[in-house]
Structure 1
Amino acid sequence: MNISEKNFNKIFHIFLCVIAIAMIFRKPCSLLIILFAAFNLMFFKKLKYSKKQLILMACIASPILLELLLFWNNDSFTQGLKAIEKRTSLLIFPLFIIGNYQRVNFLKIVRTYVIGTTVIMFFFLIRFVILFPDLVEKYLNRIDLWEMGYQFANSIGIHAPALNMHLAFVSVCALYFVFESFKNQEKLVFKISTLFVFLSSFFFVLLVNTRMALINVLLGFLIVFFYEIRSKFNLKKILLTGSVIVVLLGGILFLFVQKNPYMKEKYSSVTFAYMDKVGKLDEIDHPEIKVFNSLVTRISIWKSAWELSVKNLPFGVGASDGKPELNKYYKATNQHFLAKYEFPTHNQFLDFLLKFGILGPLVVALYIFAIGYLGFDLKNGMILSFFLIFFTSNLTDDFLLRFDGIAFSGLWSSIFASYWVQQKIILDKVPVAV
């Protein structure tokens, strides 16, 4: 099958942009990934691999490679295959994206992703207002504000922490483009539109309102700002732009907190309530009301997961048996609240320790910290922010169990790796001064 290089590059780029934007929709995105794989298989001769690329591909594919290595440890052959199937994107993305690294236009993909995702969020916000007026009225009257972000995310069909992990990265990238628009002397209309997209993206992070995402997005802003200052490009202009952004962000945050007083409670008393009840949640009156999303529940889960993991070293209980075995342990230790709601580990390092034993957390660390290395080596604030967001998110959740975490990280890791390879090739071509 013949296709011009120009058309192939265009289709390849469209695939990456559309998959990135569609990541919050599991079924459509899964179909797009299959089509992306089929498209690249038809033109497999265009793929190119070097030793550096193969190492990067192995790092990104390491979770699924570990599953294949310890597949024998599953009690159920069928469930073991299902666990592998969930992570096939960790083979598809590095194989075809890094294999076509020279076609990846990093900044253009990120810009399209930021704008596209923000537009989609506006669409779903309008849809939410139209379809759920009773909920909107309830929240405007400051009733059950704790559920607002989760209800909004559910209306889209995604778990709130997962959605806000995506939105945090969108907002950090949007800030980068604000600085770029002011540095590059763009037209006023373009500057205003870029600033509007950024402020809108931050508003959606606040709307969904999950704790780790809000902390991460603020830290991500600091990282991007730090690297902008390090660029030494018109420091006065960067500081002026940064000051304006701080004032605007502060205003939005202040107004949001005023309209949503539950935020003060959520980030203080609710989060740290009943810390003396670790492992004894059933002693709390109605724990599903008082501590369902509190830190004490997370720590109780982690304690159980750690104790069970230690009992099953060195190879763990198997990829398909992690959650069932943890639920059995809740019952065996008379933790009825945890058993009733069948809580997963809520920590990716512990989840892999439970399932795969000693190798599990090592592979998670390799997978996540490889992203950090790429960002640090490239001195790129967006990539480092992604690393921070994904690393911290997996300390309080287990996103390598979910499509929106597996595919999300696999896609962007492969794009980052391709960008890294491009920059290394450019550096290798620069003549060394004698």
Structure 2
Amino acid sequence: MHLAFASIINLYFIFYSFQKKEKIIFSTLNIITFAFSFFLILFVNTRLALFNALFGFGLIFFYEIIKKYNFRIVIGILVVLSISLTSIFYVYVQKNPYMKEKYYKVTFAHMDKVGKLDEIENPEAEVYNSFVTRLSIWKSAWELSLNNLPFGVGASDGKPELFKYFRQTNQKFLAKYDFPTHNQYIDYFLKFGILGVLIILMFFYNLAYLGFSTKSPIIISFFFLFFLSNITDDYLIRFDGIAFCGLWISIFGCYWLQRKRLSVNTS
């Protein structure tokens, strides 16, 4: 998540440096930093981080290039950017062939075993990091949440009740490793019921409002990145996620206030 956002920001700096016609040394440094940050995303090899980065690149390209330049320049920049990203991706995949297996085979393996992971022989080796394991956890957490409507199981009982439910439903693999929810939305639904879902949606609405009202591709990219990242993890109950989000929301909020004050003064 951090690397994806850093890579998105670095791409923005590249376009910004060319728009402002900064010295070639700064533009070159931005290009090198962007290439290195994108390489680190591939090195960490997190699927959602790569998707978030590419989605953010698209938003930056749309807001900073398509809306500001003519068709020929847009196509030229698109070709250069595509070649650069493809080259980095190709070189890394050649050095790390497991990446192809992970994305094409491991990720969506055994999808017919959702909620039935114990039927898989040696699930630790086959599906420990697979999407089917996450879906099985979400399925159990969802069922438990529905059983405890409308107010949930409580803030302190989310994990204990989920682990207990694994054992009650005889899901030995999940119970053995006590997997947490790994989904912020379902986690809040489990803990706080309907109110929890409303609260987290209001939280993300606030972040989306800051981005779309200022028409800032950076803020919009951050909104989508953090919104999607919380589907596969629960960052708002982790210190690193809270600090990361809190820092950037504070910065974005200040930027929104500056824009609003400037519009009032000029009107």
TM-score, scaled to structure 1: 0.60
Letter in 1 for 2:204: I
After superposition, give the CA deviation of every residue in 1:289-325 in whole Å (9 maximum; x if it has no partner): 1101111111111110011111111111111110011
| Relative contact order, higher structure (CA 8 A, sep 6+) | 1
In structure 1, the partner of 2:246 is 410
Specify which of 126, 129, 136 is matched with residue 300 of structure 1.
136
Deviation at 1:230, TM superposition (A): 4.7
Given residue 19 of structure 2, which amino acid in structure 1 is its aligned partner?
K
Task: Identify the match of residue 183 of structure 1 among 3, 6, 19.
Answer: 19
Instruction: Work out which of the two has the higher radius of gyration on C-alpha atoms and give 1 or 2.
Output: 1
Deviation at 1:377, TM superposition (A): 1.3
The 4+ residue runs of structure 1 with deviation greater than 3 A are 233-242
1:210 corresponds to 2:46: yes
- In the alignment, the residues of structure 2 paired with residue 367 and residue 389 of structure 1 have an alpha-carbon distance, to the nearest angstrom, of 14
Q: Sequence identity of aligned pairs in percent?
A: 59
Please name the residue that 1:287 is paired with: 123
Deviation, structure 1 residue 238: 5.3
1:233: how far off? 5.1
Give a deviation string over 1:163-210, Cα, whole Å, max 9, x none.
Answer: xx0000000000000001111111111111111011111111111110
Contact 2:66 2:74 in 1 (8 A): no
**In structure 2, what residue type is equivalent to 1:325?**
E
Aligned twin of 2:88? 252
- How many Å apart are 1:366 and its aligned residue? 1.3
- Report what 1:197 is aligned to: 33
- Provide the residue aligned with 1:309 in structure 2: 145
Check if 1:421 corresponds to 2:223.
no
Task: Report the count of equivalent residues.
Answer: 267
Q: TM-score, with normalisation over the residues of structure 2? A: 0.96
Stretches of structure 2 lacking an aligned partner (at least 5 in a row):
none
Q: Do the aligned residues in 2 keep the contact of 1:183 with 1:238 (CA within 8 Å)?
A: no
CA distance in 1: counterparts of 2:248 and 2:196, whole angstroms? 22
Contact 1:183 1:233 in 2 (8 A): no
1:168 and 2:4 are equivalent in the alignment: yes
* Paired amino acid for 2:207: I
Look up the match of 1:324. Answer: 160
Q: 2:203 and 2:72 mapped to 1: Cα distance?
A: 38
| Alignment partners' CA distance in 1, 2:22 and 2:69 | 15
Tell me the residue number matched to 2:109: 273
Matched to 1:331, the amino acid is: R
Structure 1: gaps of 5 or more residues: 1-164
Partners of 1:407 and 1:367 in 2: CA distance: 15
Where do 1:109-120 residues align within 5 Å? none
